[in-house]
Amino acid sequence: MAACPVCHRKGVNEWGTPCSQCVGLTRLPPPNICVECHSKMTPSPNGRRKCKECLRKDARARSKNRYKSDSAYREKVLSSSKAYQKANRDKMRESERKYRNNNRDKVAFKEEMHKFRKKNAIGYCSYNDWIIMLDICNNRCLLCYSTENLTIDHVIPLAVFLGTNYISNLQPLCHSCNSSKGNRIIIDYRWKVYDKLTLSLDMSLPQSSIPQEQIYIE
């Protein structure tokens, strides 16, 4: 059962049209306009007012909620997935190989995040936030301005008690600068792009941190 597009009450009908209480209260878009994303669509003969992409999105959301709440459905999905992987191992390997070749940076970032989680690091940074950080820093090391071998550096190292894996504690440094900084020094080079970072990312950076002020951890 779909929800009313006006009051968003769930289980009203199966077509996604307004419920009996909301009919006439507001003007709906034309039949060729999706009521959810307002994109153009082909009018549906069965009266549905959502485009195919929004219907797929709703179906994925329902399947995800059912997977979390229904243990029998979850076991069915897992068994089906295992059977498919076992019957299509070569196809799965080829698909994974193509994905890794076409998304080298994203795969390397996820592997770094996995390595940090194995160290019991607190917090998580998404790939999109890291890309925003790199764009603001012009894809350069904040110390030597090199564009090669950029790595993820923690302002407060993970070896320190307060070191986290949130975007507010990350900065791009090349491999050489990251190695020379080590894991026992707290130093923030992001003051150079502080204004841009606070506008683009939901983060608060210490304005008093400058490269000359280094804190050594005993």
Looking at the whole model, is its pTM more than 0.75? no
141: left (phi over 0), alpha (psi -120 to 50) or beta: beta
Least confident of 36-45, 65-74, 199-208: 199-208
Percent of the chain with pLDDT over 70: 76
Percent of the chain with pLDDT over 90: 28
Task: Identify which has the larger pLDDT, 134 or 202.
Answer: 134
Mean pLDDT to the nearest integer, 182-202: 70
Count CB neighbours of 197 within 10 A. 21
pLDDT of residue 168: 86
Confidence bin at 207 (pLDDT 50/70/90): very low
Q: Does domain 104-216 have CATH number 1.10.3470?
A: no
With 90 as the cut, is the pLDDT of residue 42 above it? Answer: no
**Bridge partners (DSSP) listed for residue 13:** 2
Kindly list the domain boundaries of the chain, sorted by start residue.
1-70, 71-102, 104-216
Least confident of 50-59, 169-178, 201-210: 201-210
Mean pLDDT to the nearest integer, 26-55: 77
pLDDT of residue 84: 93
Mean pLDDT to the nearest integer, 177-199: 76
pLDDT of residue 52: 86
Mean pLDDT to the nearest integer, 76-88: 93
pLDDT of residue 90: 93
